Structure 1
Amino acid sequence: MATTLNSPVYVSDWLKYEAGSYYSRGTGIVAAGSGILASGTVLAKVTATGKYVPAAAAGSDGSQTATAILVAPVDATSADAPCVVVESHALVSHAGLTWGSTINDATKRAAAIGQLRTVGIKVREGA
């Protein structure tokens, strides 16, 4: 029987440049119910709570606007979880990012990439 090995996602898989002295990073809370999130998950901030959730393709509560990328994995399945995010002045590789379940085609990813660029996160193919 064949064995499948799954390698975790490391920050170096997607983060290619950030400003010095961790200027690009911030802290926050991932909202309970978000599940187990890997490093490189694209996040949005819910306006009413200020908590992060995986970015969605549509919504009206802030979850539809990609604003940050998760640095280290978190488990927010049943409780809020503290997190570290890249929130500005960074260059990232598209190949290492994890998208919310509703960002499931090239058009929706392009929209989220544009939103990240607005906060100063450049997403590049490859690298």
Structure 2
Amino acid sequence: MTVLTEPRHPGEFLMSEANGQRSRETITVASGAGVIAPGSVLGKITASGKYLVSAIGAVDGSQTAAAVSLNGCDATSADQKIAAILRDAEINGNILTFHADRDQPAERAAARADLAAVGIIVR
């Protein structure tokens, strides 16, 4: 029997957010970031203001979790604009996508703490 796997849906992780569009912004995912799934934990590059999946080993500012992608995109060869949650929201932590180097519970807890600092509460 063929097994089908359903991919993540945009906004699937979102439990609640502020009224209107207060929790959301359009952001730019930096070229070279690759394929970003909905619900990816993102960090902001200090120099450019663009975003990448937040990796522990980064030294450009993106190591600090700052947003969660609402939509997915393919930023392999060009910058991509997507919607993201940047503040005042509750999200389901079981549905988040982390960088591969955040594979330990303490590393994911640190990313959750970074998100809490900007008003994104992981449940």
TM-score (norm 2): 0.95
Give the drift of 1:12.
Answer: 4.5
- RMSD (CA atoms): 1.1
Aligned equivalent of 1:59: 58
Measured in 2, the distance between the counterparts of 1:29 and 1:11 equals: 17
Which secondary structure state, in structure 2, belongs to the residue aligned with residue 114 of structure 1?
A: helix
Measured in 2, the distance between the counterparts of 1:4 and 1:94 equals: 25
Aligned equivalent of 1:10: 9
Aligned equivalent of 1:33: 32
Aligned residues: 123
Aligned equivalent of 1:105: 104
For structure 1, the residue ranges without an aligned partner over 5 or more in a row are none
CA offsets, 1:69-125, max 9 Å, x none? 00011110111101110000000001110001111110100000000000000001x
Aligned equivalent of 1:120: 119
CA offsets, 1:35-60, max 9 Å, x none? 11111000000001110000011332
1:63 counterpart letter in structure 2: S
Give the drift of 1:65.
Answer: 0.3
- From the two aligned structures, give the one with the greater helix fraction: 1
Q: Percent identity?
A: 41
Aligned equivalent of 1:21: 20
Which secondary structure state, in structure 1, belongs to the residue aligned with residue 28 of structure 2?
A: strand
After superposition, the Cα gap between the structure-2 partners of 1:33 and 1:120, relative to the gap in structure 1 and judged at 3 Å, is same
2:86 equivalent to 1:72:
no
Measured in 2, the distance between the counterparts of 1:25 and 1:99 equals: 20
For structure 2, the residue ranges without an aligned partner over 5 or more in a row are none
